[in-house]
Amino acid sequence: MSKSNARFVAWIADAEIGDQIMYLQADYAGRNPSLQKLFWDAASEGLVFLHQKRVREGVFNYYAKRISKRAGKSLKPWDIDND
């Protein structure tokens, strides 16, 4: 695991509900597949809510916001393969 990924794993573990982190700025989240997977997995577990904000044409900030387990159940991404 890279140092930056380890730092984000630590953030997910220590973040309190409502804490938010910008984990990437890029034209699309796929620029860093391991980081994308880390946060997608956290969202799939109901730990964070993922969102993005356009900075300028073709550039986005990608955010993760720590959420409660109760909220996480309703906000988890759909598993398209199993629906």
| Span 36-82, pLDDT tens digits | 888 888 888 888 999 999 999 989 999 999 988 766 555 555 565 65
For the cut 80, the answer to whether the pLDDT of residue 16 exceeds it is yes
Q: Where are the domains of the chain?
A: 3-72
37 or 4, which is more confident: 37
**Runs of H (alpha helix) within 1-83:** 3-14, 33-44, 69-75
DSSP state of 58: T
For residue 56, give the amino acid letter.
Answer: R
Question: Which pLDDT belongs to residue 60?
Answer: 92
For the cut 60, the answer to whether the pLDDT of residue 83 exceeds it is no
